Amino acid sequence: MPLAQLALPLATVGLIALASSSIGEAFSRWRLPLITGFLCTGILAGPYVLGLIPAEALSRLRFIDQMALAFIAFAAGSELNLQEMRGSFRSIRWVTLGLVVSTFVITSTVVFLIADAVPFLSGMPPVARLAVAILAGSVLVARSPSSAIAVVNELRARGPFTRMVLGVTVTMDVVVIVLFAFSSSIADALLTQLGFDLALTALVLGEILVSIGLGLVAGRLVPLLVSFPKSSSVRAGLLLALGFLIFTLSATVRSLTHEQWPFEVLLEPLLICMVAGFVVTNYTGYRASFRRVLDIASPPVYTLFFTLAGAALALDVLVSTWPIALALFGSRVVAIAIGSFVGGTAAGDPARLNRISWMAFITQAGIGLGLAKEVAGQFPSWGGSFATLIISVIVLNQVVGPPLFKWALDLAGEARVRAGRRDLRGTPLAIVFGLDGQSLALARQLADHGWRVKVATLEPERRSAPRNGESEIEIVHLADLEVETLRAIEAEKAEAFVTLLSDDENERLCELAFETFGTQNVIVQSEDRSRWPRYTELGATIIDPATALVSLLDHFVRSPTATELLLGMGRDQEVTEIRLHNPALNGVALRDLSLPLDTLVLSVSRNGASLISHGYTEIHLGDSVTLVGSQASLDEVALKFAD
Domains of the chain: 60-415 (1.20.1530), 429-543 (3.40.50.720), 552-641 (3.30.70.1450)
Contacts for 527 with CB less than 8 Å, ≥ 6 apart? 544, 545, 546
Q: Which of 257, 139, 248, 141 is nearest to 189 (CA)?
A: 257
**Mean pLDDT on 194-201:** 62
**Mean pLDDT on 246-250:** 91
Identify the pLDDT of residue 536: 87
Round to whole Å and give the CA distance between 498 and 40.
53
Confidence tier at 426 by pLDDT (50, 70, 90) = low
- CA dihedral (362, 365, 368, 373) in degrees, to 10, reads 150
pLDDT at 471 > cutoff 90: no
- CA dihedral (307, 313, 316, 322) in degrees, to 10, reads -100
Which H or E run includes 445?
helix 437-448
- Name the more confident of 571 and 15: 15
Identify the pLDDT of residue 280: 92
Torsional sign, CA 392, 395, 400, 401: positive
Identify whether the C-beta of residue 104 lies closer than 8 Å to the C-beta of residue 301.
no
Identify the pLDDT of residue 199: 67
Identify the pLDDT of residue 423: 38
Q: Which one-letter amino acid corresponds to residue 546?
A: A
Sheet holding 429-433, edge to edge: 473-477, 452-457, 429-433, 496-499, 521-525, 541-543
Round to whole Å and give the CA distance between 430 and 473.
10
Round to whole Å and give the CA distance between 58 and 64.
10
Identify the pLDDT of residue 569: 57
Lowest mean pLDDT among 132-136, 139-143, 251-255, 374-378: 374-378
CA atoms within 13 A on the CB side of 356: 16
- Name the more confident of 201 and 178: 178
Confidence tier at 559 by pLDDT (50, 70, 90) = low
pLDDT at 545 > cutoff 90: no
Lowest mean pLDDT among 163-167, 461-465, 476-480, 635-639: 461-465
Residues paired with 579 in a beta bridge: 624
pLDDT at 337 > cutoff 90: yes
pLDDT at 256 > cutoff 70: yes
Quote the Cα angle for 441-451-413, to 5°: 155
* Phi and psi at residue 141, to the nearest 5°: -75, -25
Lowest mean pLDDT among 97-111, 144-158, 588-602: 144-158
Round to whole Å and give the CA distance between 410 and 152.
11
pLDDT at 258 > cutoff 50: yes
Identify the pLDDT of residue 332: 94
Round to whole Å and give the CA distance between 420 and 154.
11
Identify whether the C-beta of residue 398 lies closer than 8 Å to the C-beta of residue 332.
no
pLDDT at 550 > cutoff 80: no
pLDDT at 562 > cutoff 70: no
Identify the pLDDT of residue 240: 92
Identify whether the C-beta of residue 82 lies closer than 8 Å to the C-beta of residue 322.
no
Contacts for 590 with CB less than 8 Å, ≥ 6 apart? 601, 604, 613, 614, 615, 616, 617, 618, 619
Identify whether the C-beta of residue 59 lies closer than 8 Å to the C-beta of residue 47.
no
Torsional sign, CA 293, 296, 299, 304: negative
Q: Which of 396, 361, 392, 29 is nearest to 171 (CA)?
A: 361
Round to whole Å and give the CA distance between 132 and 111.
8
Identify the pLDDT of residue 340: 94
Rg (CA), the chain: 29
DSSP calls for 76-107: HHHH--HHHHGGGHHHHHHHHHHHHHHHHHHH
- Name the more confident of 477 and 583: 477
pLDDT 10s digits, 351-393: 888 899 999 898 876 677 778 877 887 788 888 888 888 888 8
- Name the more confident of 569 and 20: 20
Neighbours of 11 (CB within 10 A): 10
Identify the pLDDT of residue 66: 86
Round to whole Å and give the CA distance between 499 and 502.
9
- DSSP 8-state code for residue 608: T
- Name the more confident of 37 and 460: 37
pLDDT at 219 > cutoff 90: yes
pLDDT 10s digits, 77-114: 887 777 776 667 788 889 999 999 999 999 999 999 99
Identify the pLDDT of residue 420: 34
Round to whole Å and give the CA distance between 311 and 57.
10
Distance from chain centroid for Cα 184: 28
CA atoms within 13 A on the CB side of 187: 23
CA atoms within 13 A on the CB side of 165: 33
Mean per-residue pLDDT of the chain: 81
Q: Which one-letter amino acid corresponds to residue 440?
A: L
